[in-house]
Structure 1
Amino acid sequence: MTEKKIQVGIIGAGAIGNVHMRTLAGIDDMETTAVTDASLPLAQQRAEEHGIGRVHESPQALLEDETIDAVIIGVPNQYHAALAIEALRRGKHVLLEKPMAIDSVAAQAIFEAAGESGRILMMSHQMRWQGLSRAVKARIENGDMGRIYNAKAGWLRKKGIPGWGSWFTRKDQSGGGPLIDIGVHMLDLSLYLMGNPKPITVFGSTYAEFGPNKEGIGTWGTPNWDGYYDVEDLASALIKLDNGATLSLEVSWAAHAAGLPEAPFIYLMGTKGGISIVGERATYVTYQDNEVVETEIVPLEGEEERILMFRHFAECIREHKTPISSALTGYTNNRILDAIYESSRTGNEVKLSWS
């Protein structure tokens, strides 16, 4: 007898919610049966576009729907904690968009609720499932890198401030600027490739040189010219890890970053070799007979990363497995982000303890 498909409800019908709806159409084991959004007309439009049977009038109504097994939360950062915690307490599995929460206090509440619920909470970090990321991870696990002791990661956009004046650029609604928006992706992928070491000290600085003047505005998001901008447009940090390794991180929405790639990048330096990932290319470097030898890393073949991510989510639900991008990884990311903001505010390094 074939198992019943996992019934999925989606909270948030905006751009990212729409991406999830399209992706789920290609997952045989899952079925989107309900959607809701603060804009009910948008939710109704998405339901018609994707053949979704029910539109709930509120997130609470969707979470009360006993036919739903799992929910995807794709709403502004400030709402992540309340919705994720309520979903877990109602017995739903959760796929949560990044960042986990608006700050580490809220992230800890989600983390604890996930542990108490016995349900799966998985972070939506699709970059882990990209063919290039999987190929690099395989090389690392094969021992080609030796011990990774230093890494540099970032994403420097020269002109890409999203939705000026909207929730994107309001700290009380987003938690921050490019650091929490795109920096969390690079932080998450770097720590994953490095073997998930724990951060112990963080030193960082943030800058707002262009956003307050309405410069460096990109095309993503809907601007609100009656709104405001009180987040950073560039962040830089050095993170010391409990295995002795260091990770430096630089991200921007807007910067005069002359000559630097705008693509996301990670440089991993190990005792046996090094790997650079810049955009869609990766290179492995090592010594042979005291000469530098470089070879290109070929991405692993397979389905698109979001499809692989959802297949993993379904597998974790079916088999009660801890996700690769677990609640703990989301909480760890939030603690680092908070520490960078605190270090920038105080000018001091921030020490993190783990019980």
Structure 2
Amino acid sequence: MESIYLREPKMKIAFAGAGYIINIHARAAKAQKDVELVAVVEKFSDKAAAFAQKFKIKNQYTTIEQMLNAGDVDALVIGTPNYLHAPQAVAALKAGIHVMVEKPMAMNAREAQKMREASEKSGAKLMVAHCWRFDEDVLWLKKQSQKLGKIIRTKGIGVHTHWGPSGWFTQKQFAGGGALADMGIHALDTARFLLGDPKPVSVYAKIGTHYGSFDVDDTGVIFVEWDNDATSYIESGWWQPHADGPEAATQLYGVDGFGQLFPTRIEVIKRKEQRIDAIDPGFKFPRREHCPQSMYDAQMNYFLDCIRKDKTPVPGALEGLMNMKVVDAAYKSSSTGKVIKIK
């Protein structure tokens, strides 16, 4: 009797944007099994053409609406300027297309909530590309952190030293915020992930622009109180003269020890034995590439697996929304000088 193997149909993926980050996502998609890169949505035709040629994509559109009218897309990866995240995601989700959107999820929590509602109503998956949750160092520390006892506080870094972005990143109407929305959110989400995704209770922040002549922030210190009684201290910045660690570097201070990312290790207090056990996983630091392609490959693999197995992605709409609530509260706190409670 002849055996018949049913092959899963290829997942047809489209990309919104044609810049740096979407190239990384396209490489990640290309590395997956049973995937077809079918479309790019980009208003600049020269950028769209170059992207399409590079990844052998046959369909080019200037708007999401054109893509939706043409059909034949299962999932959309959004890597456009922040002001386009919500309208592009909502349009796709309403059409039943699964979405992975770059961080920050949206311009603010209000937009993020609309994205969440669109996903819940249509049933299409919504994932937010908080990439550090898929990094091997981060996953190691997450697993080992149980040895540290209750975590009392964390310190996180989301800083560019001697460098900063240009273009739409530095324009509030397109980006919504500056270094906090761009870099600080990496430190914020990494801390929250390592803490087990607690809910934010309150935020106090001091945010300003000191190194550039744009209308968004390039410097920030943020304190977040969580509902598990932990407190996170986060530094965000562009063009800073120094940083205590690279992007997403995080320290955990527990009642039974200390843990950190980049360089990654833990120290466990053995009180009865009156010693401290240092555990080093042997990860190389500094890395050749601090943000390795393998991290994005793992993220894409997880997104596609959630679609195929009908699982709710984490980080998904809820995680993205929680982060946006903290970002909104931080900007409000800095402008008012007050601690902002989060509902």
TM normalised by structure 2 equals 0.92
In the TM superposition, what are the counterparts of 1:307-322 in structure 2 within 5 Å?
A: 307-322=297-312
Q: Answer yes or no: is the 8 Å Cα contact 2:157–2:246 preserved in 1.
A: no
In the alignment, structure 1 residue 201 sits paired with structure 2 residue 185: no
> AA paired with 1:136?
L
In the TM superposition, what are the counterparts of 1:271-350 in structure 2 within 5 Å?
A: 271-278=255-262, 281-288=263-270, 289-299=273-283, 304-350=294-340
Partner of 1:157: 160
Q: 1:303 to 1:162 in 2, by over 3 A?
A: closer
Partner of 2:225: 240
In the TM superposition, what are the counterparts of 1:1-355 in structure 2 within 5 Å?
A: 1-140=6-145, 143-163=146-166, 166-212=167-213, 229-257=214-242, 260-278=244-262, 281-288=263-270, 289-299=273-283, 304-353=294-343
Deviations 1:241-263 (A, max 9, x none): 11111111111102233x73455
> AA paired with 2:98?
H
Q: CA deviation at 1:343?
A: 0.2
Q: CA deviation at 1:161?
A: 1.7
Q: Answer yes or no: is the 8 Å Cα contact 2:25–2:300 preserved in 1.
A: no
Partner of 1:215: none
**Aligned equivalents of 2:138, 2:164: Cα separation in 1:** 26
Q: Answer yes or no: is the 8 Å Cα contact 2:39–2:58 preserved in 1.
A: yes
Deviations 1:180-221 (A, max 9, x none): 001111111110110000001100010211112xxxxxxxxx
**Aligned equivalents of 1:9, 1:263: Cα separation in 2:** 28
Name the Cα RMSD after superposition: 1.7
**Aligned equivalents of 1:197, 1:263: Cα separation in 2:** 22
Deviations 1:46-101 (A, max 9, x none): 11111112112322111233210000111000111111000000110001010000
**Aligned equivalents of 2:99, 2:25: Cα separation in 1:** 13
Q: CA deviation at 1:303?
A: 8.3
**Aligned equivalents of 1:43, 1:295: Cα separation in 2:** 47
Q: Answer yes or no: is the 8 Å Cα contact 2:158–2:186 preserved in 1.
A: no
SS at match of 2:14: strand
Taking only the aligned residue pairs, the percentage that are identical comes to 31
Deviations 1:105-152 (A, max 9, x none): 111111111111211100112211111111112223xx3122222111
SS at match of 1:304: helix
Deviations 1:311-354 (A, max 9, x none): 1111100111011211100000000001000000000000011x
Deviations 1:14-45 (A, max 9, x none): 11111112221111132211112010121111
Q: Answer yes or no: is the 8 Å Cα contact 1:133–1:299 preserved in 2.
A: no
**Aligned equivalents of 2:245, 2:186: Cα separation in 1:** 17
**Aligned equivalents of 2:339, 2:319: Cα separation in 1:** 22
**Aligned equivalents of 1:158, 1:32: Cα separation in 2:** 35
SS at match of 1:325: coil
**Aligned equivalents of 2:29, 2:139: Cα separation in 1:** 21
Q: 1:65 to 1:189 in 2, by over 3 A?
A: farther
After TM superposition, where is structure 1 displaced by more than 3 Å over at least 4 residues in a row? 259-264
Farther-moved stretch of structure 1 (309-318 vs 260-269): 260-269
**Aligned equivalents of 1:29, 1:268: Cα separation in 2:** 39
SS at match of 1:254: strand
> AA paired with 1:351?
K
Structure 1, unaligned runs of 5 or more? 213-228
TM normalised by structure 1 equals 0.89
